[in-house]
């Protein structure tokens, strides 16, 4: 079967990510004797530099990993919470019915860097200086700028010049957007990373009193959460900045918020399906929606479906799972056991009819009564301005303007990690002077209505769309995968999963397979739009499939044949030790490397 690239195979190590320079940086760490966690950290910091429109140091992430000593999937939560001063009353007092998608107001505690440093300290083997040298080099000496970065800067250039002047200093230093392919340097970011490395070196001590490797990394972590980074954030976020509400607002995030939070570990949520165990982050993410869908989809029935039946079944179960996401998910007491039970899944599957549903239909797990936000039930709409981009995900045409990053790594010892870093996009808030990066805007995912699972509250995590995956067979971790894409992440992963786990396609063929998604539920991002009945699919699925789906009532939008999803994956066969990897050709950016 022809694929755009070969599925990579080897025995030493595999790294797959959304940019070739990041993947190769991670592989260089493996070649130098590092493990999967060292490599993932090197990959992640490089992505901050080369994909600044998709993630940044001020962003966030969840990761799922297993170790050669512990095959149970563990979640690393790098999703920072809302500031202590962030309350519904504060936003209501500003006349807002939604948290803006840009500017200072939607900033949560930036969790990405603390999470990566925590992973490196606890599970890596290398010093911070060794894994950061690639990111520092590309920021200091330059890297060829992606066309999409140049285009993204162009879309917000006027905003930068008129309102976010600190961003103009970073991204419009030559007077206009830097040219695609030009050598682009980020000296302020390089200096910030060098300061973290200097803190690590200082902690090593003098006169032979060398601190432990862990204590050295903790010193860098302290410089971020309690030192120069927190101080710069504290000062800058007090200013007012234009946001996409059309009005300038000051931020709420403080140095004390950053000092008072640390990344955490928690067990993954899992379901068993057709001989697999699939692991996701908890319901503070959208990950369990993927598991709910699996529970609704009988593997035997799926094997007997033609293309139209399969798309219809997947789209209709997506609508049901994401209606439950809206009614039940958040950083709160979520009835996950009931939501993931086989009895509840059977109830939900019974709602799937031959014709497409046009309703948002949350269920009643354990007999509970669902509640949707009034913004949704009353069909409200909010006017938007051109002040940045709340979440630069996927246009209805299928064009990918940007969104998020993804990393998968497996090493020769059997360590495996899947991570989805995002937030802190260059276009989401003003660059912090002297640091070279901006804050994230994840608080836009909260509702400004009390009593909902995802209602805004101080110290609470927003319900994120970021959703890495790990799968096991016979208790052994064998597959790590994921994709950028906001609300589409679970959907594109489901297309990949069914192609690989049910149809038996190899990793690259499953990634290359034609994809689709629906927008028939409220977006997680400002201005929270939805489109009942809409299905977006790649044109490669063909006219007959498109026509039959329309006959069944789906409102089909046909996108370019290679436009949906930016998946990557790595795999390991425990019996032979053979490693595999693949990455998405869409966007001509992602790459897998390995040997």
Distance of CA 103 to the CA centre of its chain: 20
pLDDT at position 391 is 47
Alpha-carbon gap, residue 480 to 278, rounded angstroms? 10
pLDDT bin (cut points 50, 70, 90) of residue 331 is very high
Alpha-carbon gap, residue 264 to 343, rounded angstroms? 32
DSSP letters for 32-83: TT--HHHHHHHHHHHHHHH-TTT--TT-BEEEEEE-SS--S-EEEEE-----
H or E, element range at 176 = none
Calculate the dihedral angle through the C-alpha atoms of 334, 336, 337, 343, rounding to the nearest 10 degrees.
120
Alpha-carbon gap, residue 177 to 436, rounded angstroms? 16
pLDDT at position 403 is 72
Instruction: Convert the pLDDT of each residue in 342-361 to its tens digit.
Output: 999 999 999 999 999 999 99
Q: Is the pLDDT of residue 393 over 60?
A: no
CA-to-CA dists, residue 330 to 221, 451, 452, angstroms: 28, 11, 8
Instruction: Convert the pLDDT of each residue in 399-410 to its tens digit.
Output: 334 479 999 999
pLDDT at position 527 is 83
Q: Is the pLDDT of residue 397 over 50?
A: no
Q: Work out the average pLDDT over 244-269.
A: 96
Label the pairing between strands 534-538 and 555-559: parallel
* Lowest mean pLDDT segment, chosen from 5-14, 91-100, 523-532, 567-576: 523-532
Alpha-carbon gap, residue 171 to 152, rounded angstroms? 10
Instruction: Convert the pLDDT of each residue in 148-168 to its tens digit.
Output: 999 999 999 999 999 999 999
pLDDT bin (cut points 50, 70, 90) of residue 204 is confident
- Neighbour-count burial of 78, counting CB atoms closer than 10 A to its CB (0-12 exposed, 13-18 middle, 19+ buried): buried
Q: Which two tokens stand for residue 200?
A: 């690590």
- Residue of 487 and 398 predicted with greater confidence: 487
pLDDT at position 219 is 96
Alpha-carbon gap, residue 86 to 94, rounded angstroms? 12
Q: Is the pLDDT of residue 385 over 90?
A: no
pLDDT bin (cut points 50, 70, 90) of residue 381 is low
pLDDT bin (cut points 50, 70, 90) of residue 528 is confident
Q: Is the pLDDT of residue 529 over 90?
A: no
Look-up of token digits 């260089």: 28
pLDDT bin (cut points 50, 70, 90) of residue 389 is very low
pLDDT bin (cut points 50, 70, 90) of residue 587 is confident
- Residue of 574 and 528 predicted with greater confidence: 574
Q: Work out the average pLDDT over 69-87.
A: 98
- What percentage of the chain reaches a pLDDT higher than 90? 92
pLDDT at position 205 is 73
The model scores a pTM over 0.75? yes
Instruction: Convert the pLDDT of each residue in 501-521 to its tens digit.
Output: 999 999 999 999 999 999 999
What φ, ψ does residue 269 adopt, rounded to 5°? -90, 135
- What percentage of the chain reaches a pLDDT higher than 70? 95
Alpha-carbon gap, residue 494 to 481, rounded angstroms? 11
Alpha-carbon gap, residue 98 to 254, rounded angstroms? 22
pLDDT bin (cut points 50, 70, 90) of residue 131 is very high
Angle, alpha carbons 170-174-175 (nearest 5°): 95
Residues 6+ apart with CB under 8 A from 524: 286, 391, 445, 463, 464, 465, 486, 487
Instruction: Convert the pLDDT of each residue in 19-60 to its tens digit.
Output: 999 999 999 999 999 999 999 999 999 999 999 999 999 999
- Runs of H (alpha helix) within 501-559: 507-512, 543-551
pLDDT at position 444 is 95
Instruction: Convert the pLDDT of each residue in 257-307 to its tens digit.
Output: 999 999 999 999 999 999 999 999 999 999 999 999 999 999 999 999 999
DSSP letters for 431-479: BPTTTS-B---GGGGSBSSTTSTTB--TTPPP-B----EEEEETTEEEE
pLDDT at position 210 is 58
Residues 6+ apart with CB under 8 A from 198: none
3 state DSSP class of 524:
coil
């Amino acid at each position: 079967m022809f694929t755009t690239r070969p599925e990579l195979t080897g025995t030493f190590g595999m790294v797959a990510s959304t940019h070739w320079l990041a993947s190769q940086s991670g592989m260089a760490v493996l070649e130098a004797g590092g493990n999967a966690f060292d490599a993932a950290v090197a990959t992640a910091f490089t992505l901050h530099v080369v994909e600044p429109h998709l993630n940044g140091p001020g962003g966030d992430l969840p990761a799922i990993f297993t170790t050669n000593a512990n095959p149970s999937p563990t979640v690393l939560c790098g999703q920072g919470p809302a500031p202590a001063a962030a309350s519904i009353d504060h936003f209501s007092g500003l006349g807002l019915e939604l948290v803006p998608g840009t500017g200072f107001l939607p900033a949560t505690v930036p969790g990405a860097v603390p999470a990566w440093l925590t992973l490196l300290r606890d599970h890596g083997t290398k010093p911070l200086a060794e894994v950061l040298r690639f990111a520092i080099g590309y920021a200091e000496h330059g890297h060829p700028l992606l066309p999409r970065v140049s285009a993204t800067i162009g879309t917000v250039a006027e905003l930068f010049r008129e309102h976010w002047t600190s961003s103009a200093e970073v991204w419009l230093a030559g007077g206009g957007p830097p040219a695609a392919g030009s050598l682009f340097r980020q000296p302020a970011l390089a200096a910030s990373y060098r300061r973290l490395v200097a803190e690590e070196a200082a902690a090593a001590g003098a006169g032979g009193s060398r601190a432990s490797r862990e204590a050295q990394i903790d010193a860098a972590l302290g410089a971020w959460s309690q030192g120069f980074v927190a101080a710069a954030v504290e000062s800058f976020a007090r200013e007012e900045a234009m946001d996409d509400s059309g009005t300038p607002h000051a931020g709420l995030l403080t140095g004390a918020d950053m000092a008072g939070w640390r990344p955490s570990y928690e067990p993954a949520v899992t379901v068993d399906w057709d001989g697999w165990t699939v692991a996701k982050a908890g319901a503070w993410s959208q990950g369990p929606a993927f598991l709910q869908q699996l529970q609704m989809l009988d593997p035997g029935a799926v094997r007997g479906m033609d293309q139209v039946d399969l798309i219809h079944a997947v789209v209709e179960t997506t609508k049901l799972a994401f209606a439950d996401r809206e009614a039940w998910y958040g950083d709160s007491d979520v009835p996950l056991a009931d939501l993931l039970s086989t009895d509840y899944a059977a109830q939900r599957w019974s709602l799937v009819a031959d014709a497409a549903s046009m309703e948002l239909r949350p269920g009643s797990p354990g007999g509970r009564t669902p509640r949707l936000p009034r913004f949704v039930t009353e069909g409200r709409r909010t006017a938007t301005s051109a002040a940045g981009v709340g979440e630069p995900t996927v246009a209805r045409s299928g064009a990918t303007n940007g969104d998020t990053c993804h990393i998968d790594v497996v090493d020769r010892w059997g360590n495996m990690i899947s991570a989805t870093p995002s937030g802190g996009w260059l276009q989401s808030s003003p660059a912090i002077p002297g640091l070279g990066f901006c804050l994230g805007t994840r608080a836009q995912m909260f509702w400004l209505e009390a009593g909902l699972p995802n209602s805004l509250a101080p110290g609470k995590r927003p319900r994120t769309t970021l959703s890495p995956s790990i799968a096991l067979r016979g208790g052994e971790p064998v597959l790590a995968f994921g994709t950028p894409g906001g609300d589409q992440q679970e959907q594109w992963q489901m297309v990949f999963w069914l192609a690989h786990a049910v149809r038996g396609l190899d990793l690259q063929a499953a990634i290359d397979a034609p994809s689709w998604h629906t927008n028939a539920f409220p977006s997680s991002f400002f201005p929270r739009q939805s489109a009942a009945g809409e299905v977006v699919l790649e044109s490669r699925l063909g006219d007959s499939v498109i026509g039959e789906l329309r006959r069944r009532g789906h409102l089909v939008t046909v996108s370019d044949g290679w436009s949906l999803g930016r998946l990557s994956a790595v795999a390991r066969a425990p019996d032979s030790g053979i490693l595999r990897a693949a990455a998405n050709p869409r966007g001509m950016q992602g790459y897998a490397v390995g040997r």
